[in-house]
Amino acid sequence: MKIEIDDNSLIDEIVKKVVEEVKPLFTNLNQFRCDELMTVEEVRTYLKAKRSSIYEKVHTKSIPFLKYGKSLRFKKTHIDIWLLNPYHPDLSNYNLNYNGRG
């Protein structure tokens, strides 16, 4: 079934609305790369959690993190693996070097 629309302004309006809806999806794709180190704020955004909740998980060592001096960093691949079972009490049971291949 083919629909023909003669009104170019209607087509332009539809295209504009579609682009408006799809654009954030493409910008968020590059926001978190697989091998990226994330800050507390970035992890908070990624997990949609409170900042205090992230610090609590770091304090209790229930989330994988790296510490550089006083700075906390989180490897996105480690967070993704942790998300498979975030309530497991022992982080050593996670294979944090798993790369997602076979």
What string of pLDDT tens digits covers the 102 residues of the chain? 667 767 777 778 887 887 787 776 666 555 556 678 999 999 999 999 999 999 999 998 889 999 989 999 999 989 988 898 877 766 776 666 555 544
Q: How high is the pLDDT of residue 40?
A: 96
Which domain covers residue 44, as residue numbers? Answer: 37-93
Q: How high is the pLDDT of residue 87?
A: 78
Q: How high is the pLDDT of residue 27?
A: 60
Q: How high is the pLDDT of residue 97?
A: 59
Beta-bridge partners for 72:
67
**Is the residue at 51 inside a domain?**
yes
**Is the residue at 16 inside a domain?**
no
**Is the residue at 56 inside a domain?**
yes
Report the number of distinct structural domains present in the chain: 1
